[in-house]
Amino acid sequence: MEQHNQVKASEFLETENFKSFLNCAKEFCSFIENLNPGTVSFLEKTQGILLRLYLSALNLNDIDLQYETGPEPVLDKDEHNKILSNIASASDESYYSHIFDPSQLDDDEPCIGDLIDDLGDIYRDIKEALMLFDTHEAPNVESALWHFNFGFHHHWGQHCINAAYAIHFFKQAKQ
């Protein structure tokens, strides 16, 4: 994994890399929050947003933390369940097969992925960090920047790339 230099949050906020990521993160959350059931181009739109989000997250820096650990962001469980229901209503596709960690050549046992779970996890991780970021309080903003980067490398990035991969094949099967 490529390591980025640590920067102060105040410096990172001004970079084009972060501004691009923030726009993509907000676009993704807005897209998920405003899904219309049965949208014909759901897979195509979702794939494009996921790929832009993933590419913009590749440029996130590690943050040199200046504050004590901030509050953990928590998305309301009912709100998250509503989001999952909306995703399920918008998509005809859900389950797909993949290898959990393709870099482990001796672990070639396929597992089942779930597009709805992928999109829901990405949404929750990003939305919770955006909730902190939008307080505009320095410790929370710093914590949000940390969550964006950590979540990408350790959780939602994998969901993002797996979902984009699955959508590629879902779209091909429909042609």
Per residue in 63-72, pLDDT tens?
888 887 667 7
Does position 132 have pLDDT exceeding 60, yes or no? yes
Secondary structure element (H or E) that encloses residue 64, with its range: strand 62-64
Q: What is the pLDDT of residue 1?
A: 45
What are 107's two structure tokens? 């672990």
Q: If you write DSSP's letter for every residue of 39-58 in order, what string do you get? A: -TTHHHHHHHHHHHHHHHHT
Dist. CA 83–CA 155, nearest whole Å: 19
25 within domain boundaries = yes
What CATH number is given to the structural domain containing 166? 1.20.120.1550
Q: Find the mean pLDDT for residues 1-17.
A: 76
Q: What is the pLDDT of residue 41?
A: 85
Q: What is the pLDDT of residue 108?
A: 74
Tens of pLDDT, residues 23-60: 999 999 999 999 876 555 889 999 999 999 999 999 88
Does position 175 have pLDDT exceeding 80, yes or no? no
Q: What is the pLDDT of residue 104?
A: 72
Dist. CA 74–CA 137, nearest whole Å: 17
1 within domain boundaries = no
Dist. CA 111–CA 108, nearest whole Å: 9
Instruction: Give residue 163's domain range.
Output: 6-174
Q: Find the mean pLDDT for residues 4-10.
A: 75
94 within domain boundaries = yes
Tens of pLDDT, residues 141-171: 999 999 999 999 999 999 999 999 999 999 8
Tens of pLDDT, residues 89-122: 888 889 998 776 777 777 778 889 999 999 999 9
Question: Number of C-alpha atoms within 13 angstroms, CB side, residue 25?
Answer: 30
Question: Number of C-alpha atoms within 13 angstroms, CB side, residue 6?
Answer: 7
Cβ atoms within 10 Å of 2's Cβ, excluding its own: 5
Whether 157 and 57 have beta carbons less than 8 Å apart is answered as yes
Does position 2 have pLDDT exceeding 70, yes or no? no
Q: Find the mean pLDDT for residues 4-31.
A: 89
Q: What is the pLDDT of residue 136?
A: 92
Residue with token string 């105040």: 10
117 within domain boundaries = yes
The total number of structural domains in the chain stands at 1
**Measured on CA atoms in the order 98, 32, 49, 153, is the torsion positive or negative?**
negative
Q: Find the mean pLDDT for residues 69-88.
A: 87
